Amino acid sequence: MLRTAAALLLAALIASGCAAPIDESWRGSPQLPFRTVPPPETAPLVHCNDLTGHVEGAIPWVFGGTCLCNPSLAVLHDFKAHGILTTWAADTLEAYYRSRGITTLSDHRDCNNLCDHGPHLLKGGRCLVPPTPGTLNWEEVVTGAFALPPWDVERVMALGGPFEREPLPGSVPAPEESESAQSSTLDESKRALRVGGELPPERPN
């Protein structure tokens, strides 16, 4: 009897066009939707960020590379060691991001790119804050494998369209190391950088 009544009620709702609303409550939370991701040392890391740790020798994504780290002295030191942005300072890179409308950890944090400047820069937005580990957004940004849902396409277009990358300025070839030196240090240094990443402290106001 109860099943018959429930079926009749459902049929009446469908006929009247009163289908249940789509649950989009997760869109207001920087923590959802969750997806289990492998640990950093085994994940298919394509783009490094402040939480994966900077990958040695990676070029900033805005200049055609794979580094999505925020400006810092440590990251700039590695850039210069590899002949990248040799005349730039951390403040220079920060100023460049601001001139392109990009927000960084100096502006805010812990938004999972759901802020007004999102989605993430990689996805066409203007937010360089690292995504929240354990979320689908984290997996998509780190691996570079994603497809924008309609609401993120709308957000990107509202910001003026996808971010356009530029050629790397002021770079010189890095000095070559011997193969033996590279094989003995490169893998370990990359792994240490990848699994040892952490957010820089907040700047005092």
Give the rounded percent of residues in the chain with a pLDDT score beyond 70: 61
Q: Is residue 163 left, alpha or beta, with left meaning phi > 0 and alpha meaning psi from -120 to 50?
A: beta
How much is the average pLDDT of 36-55?
75
Q: Residue 138 pLDDT more than 90? A: yes
Q: Classify 167 as helix, strand or coil.
A: coil
Band (102; pLDDT cuts 50, 70, 90): very high
Residue 200's pLDDT is: 52
Residue 10's pLDDT is: 39
Q: Specify the higher pLDDT residue, 171 or 114.
A: 114
